[in-house]
């Protein structure tokens, strides 16, 4: 029995990924999208409700508009809530691993399907070496979608926003905000998988709709 416990302890120490689990966001916290396309506000409010950050409740109702990473950050700056952000164009996955490892979840952006079509923003709840799980506000049934890692990385534009509620950041050392400069990233010649979601209703779009290069778009739907 003692040998078994020792082996189990060593396994957990050497394999921290075994401790990571999907961020379990209750159905009642999942905010649904509505016209004219408030996916970014919905994704942020979904996280806020999960973390009981009441100052952000009703965010999608108050903002009947598209948004961008910059406008989302402006709202957070006005409230004093601590957060981490990575801007579109940076493909570092460290912030996604951090978000899941700490049980925080993240708001992430998908690039536009065609030039001028606008991007899309969803809530990420799991990130592993093979798959990613997201909550898409276009899904009115509030489901959790599972994507292959390669599909997610194809559509992800690099944007990620992680809320750090008081219960979490009191134990952190150093500043919580870690802004990353905006850059650009090409598609790298990869084949386009199916789009993660259409702009209305969560209908999957054909692979042929994929653009030839990454673009953050003027707004997110």
What tens digit of pLDDT does each residue of 20-61 get? 579 999 999 999 998 898 999 999 999 999 999 999 999 889
pLDDT at residue 89 greater than cutoff 90:
yes
Q: Closest Cα to residue 113, out of 66, 154, 150?
A: 154
What pLDDT score was predicted for residue 20? 57
Domain boundaries, the chain: 21-209
- DSSP state at residue 196: S
> What class is the 21-209 domain?
alpha beta
Using DSSP's 3-state secondary structure scheme, residue 31 falls into coil
Pair of tokens at residue 151: 């599909």
DSSP 64-104: -S-B-HHHHHHHHHHHT--EEEE-TT----HHHHHHHHTT-
DSSP 146-187: EEEHHHHHHHEEEEEEEE--HHHHTT--S-S---------B-
| C-beta neighbour count of 96 within 10 angstroms | 20
Residue with tokens 């509030």: 142
pLDDT at residue 209 greater than cutoff 90:
no
């Amino acid at each position: 029995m003692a040998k078994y416990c020792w082996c189990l302890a060593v396994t957990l120490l050497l394999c921290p990924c075994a401790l990571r689990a999907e961020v379990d966001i209750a159905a009642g916290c999942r905010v649904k999208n509505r016209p004219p396309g408030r996916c970014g506000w919905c994704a942020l409010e979904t996280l806020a409700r999960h973390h009981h950050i009441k100052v952000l409740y009703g965010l999608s109702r108050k903002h009947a508009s598209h948004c961008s990473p910059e406008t989302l950050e402006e709202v957070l700056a006005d409230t004093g809530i601590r957060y981490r952000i990575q801007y579109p164009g940076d493909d570092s996955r460290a912030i996604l691993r951090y978000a899941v490892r700490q049980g925080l979840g993240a708001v992430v952006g998908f690039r536009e399907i065609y030039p001028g079509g606008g991007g899309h923003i969803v809530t990420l709840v799991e990130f592993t070496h093979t798959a990613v799980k997201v909550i898409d506000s276009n899904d009115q049934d509030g489901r959790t979608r599972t994507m292959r890692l390669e599909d997610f990385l194809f559509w992800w534009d690099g944007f990620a926003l992680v809320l750090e509620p008081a219960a979490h950041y009191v134990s952190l050392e150093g500043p919580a905000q870690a802004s990353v400069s905006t850059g650009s990233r090409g598609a790298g010649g990869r084949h386009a998988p199916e789009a993660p979601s259409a702009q209305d209703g969560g209908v999957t779009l054909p692979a042929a709709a994929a653009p030839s290069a990454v673009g953050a778009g003027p707004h997110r739907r």
